[in-house]
Structure 1
Amino acid sequence: MTALTPELRQSILAVRADVAKLHELLVRYELVIWTGGNISGRVPGADLFVIKPSGVEYDDLTPENMILCDLDGTVIEGDHAPSSDTAAHAYVYRNMPRVNGVVHTHSTYATAWAARGEPVPCVITGQADEFGGEIPVGPFAIIGDESIGEGIVQTLTGHRSRAVLMQNHGVFTIGKSPRDAVKAAVMAEDVAR
């Protein structure tokens, strides 16, 4: 494991604060309900990431209750269980080293496309600008292990889209930062609408 130096601790604190705050945008843009959905962010310079705790309501999220994990999904610090999607996020970070943020939602319209197993066709220029074409559908996968992460990586590798509709599940987005991945989630719902 990476030694948690004072400098690394500062980076972890910054990512915890960023990830906790960004969850407010998921609520603002009506991409989540209750405790569903999550955001994670890679810690710069370390094989670590921060993710939302499982079962904690959005109004109760704080930097202190964000969960620190290694790239195998093992909890390093945190008083709660991590998101049930932690293994998927970890797989993405291990296999897509340029990704620094991952978001998962069950947003209404994009998830409807996922339930139908249909990609969102590219019919407006805004979608072409944001995703480079259609938003693809990834394979159905069981929650809780790396299967979802494998499907995300398999679907998005070589594709310009930063969003994938996981069959019968919901939306996952990736980005160069957690905020960039949130933007992709907001835009995916907008074009799905």
Structure 2
Amino acid sequence: MQMMLEQFRKQIVEIGIQLKEYKLISLTGGNVSGRDEETGLIAITPSGMEYEKLKPEDVVIVNIDGDIIEGNRKPSSDLITHLQIYKARKDINGIIHTHSTYASCFAVLNESIPVVSTTMANEVGGEVPVAKYAPVASEELGISIIENIGDQKAVLLQNHGVFTFGKDPHHALVAAVMLEDASKVYYLAKAIGEPIRLPEEEIKRANDLFKNVYGQR
């Protein structure tokens, strides 16, 4: 019997491994999900399993209501939050949650991360706000995140970590990597002096360039 959304599940596993390679997560922390645009089904990493040992069949397939359609594993404990975001934002089809070090520093300070580099403007797209504290896996957490999702591709979670988003799981990964790099630069720059924020028009210019010019077309 052929496994449902096999290639999509493989992609979720590969992204989980990349999160470890980019040092955005430790041990079994964090999670990855993606929504298949054709079926509307959601693939999400299982709870508490090491990414290097994951197989495509370990990735759980659920519908938008959270019913398990295929998979023998328990889905991520953050499933409810992923589902709330997918329900609220039809343009989001990839979500990543991490506790990446530098971005999380600002989450525990309850301090948003401004755009001080074109690198952050490229894929993250704007200042990253802090969603007010709510217990993990609670409906309140999802509501708080949704209230803070604008055009940028990331939200900090007060006293917790980071959620990044994209039109697919790969773009959510790029946002997570770029956010952490930008957070590190901002953190170190603040230790030296006062970082200069990019003007809004330059943020839009850099983001447009990254979306429409950068890379192969």
* TM-score of the superposed pair, with normalisation by structure 1: 0.90
> Secondary structure at the residue paired with 1:39?
strand
The residue correspondences of 1:66-105 to structure 2 (distance < 5 A) are 66-105=59-98
> Secondary structure at the residue paired with 2:7?
helix
1:132–1:44 distance in 2 versus 1, CA, 3 Å: closer
Q: Which residue identity does 1:173 align to in structure 2?
A: T
Q: Where do 5+ consecutive residues of structure 1 fail to align?
A: 1-5
Moved more, 33-42 or 44-53: 44-53
Q: What is the rounded CA distance, in whole Å, between the counterparts of 1:129 and 1:24 in structure 2?
A: 24
Identify the residue that residue 162 of structure 2 maps to in structure 1: 171
Q: Does 1:40 align with 2:33?
A: yes
Match of 1:148 among 124, 134, 141: 141
Identify the residue that residue 114 of structure 2 maps to in structure 1: 121
The residue correspondences of 1:8-87 to structure 2 (distance < 5 A) are 12-87=5-80
Structure 1 residue 88: deviation in Å?
A: 0.4
Structure 1 residue 162: deviation in Å?
A: 0.3
Q: What is the rounded CA distance, in whole Å, between the counterparts of 2:94 and 2:46 in structure 1?
A: 16
> Secondary structure at the residue paired with 1:16?
helix
Structure 1 residue 62: deviation in Å?
A: 1.1
Structure 1 residue 53: deviation in Å?
A: 0.2
Preserved CA contact (<8 Å) 1:117 1:168: yes
Structure 1 residue 144: deviation in Å?
A: 1.7
Q: Which residue identity does 2:42 align to in structure 1?
A: F
Q: Which has the larger radius of gyration?
A: 2
Deviation string for 1:147-177 (max 9, x for gaps)?
A: 2222221101xx2210000111110011001
Preserved CA contact (<8 Å) 2:81 2:141: yes
RMSD: 1.4
Identify the residue that residue 179 of structure 2 maps to in structure 1: 188
Deviation string for 1:72-128 (max 9, x for gaps)?
A: 222222212110100000111111011110000000111111011001121112222
Q: Where do 5+ consecutive residues of structure 2 fail to align?
A: 185-217
> Secondary structure at the residue paired with 1:30?
coil
Identify the residue that residue 3 of structure 1 maps to in structure 2: none
> Secondary structure at the residue paired with 1:83?
coil
Q: What is the rounded CA distance, in whole Å, between the counterparts of 2:46 and 2:18 in structure 1?
A: 17
Q: Does 1:130 align with 2:113?
A: no
> Secondary structure at the residue paired with 1:127?
helix
Structure 1 residue 18: deviation in Å?
A: 0.9
Q: What is the rounded CA distance, in whole Å, between the counterparts of 2:148 and 2:159 in structure 1?
A: 15
> Secondary structure at the residue paired with 1:27?
helix
Structure 1 residue 190: deviation in Å?
A: 0.7
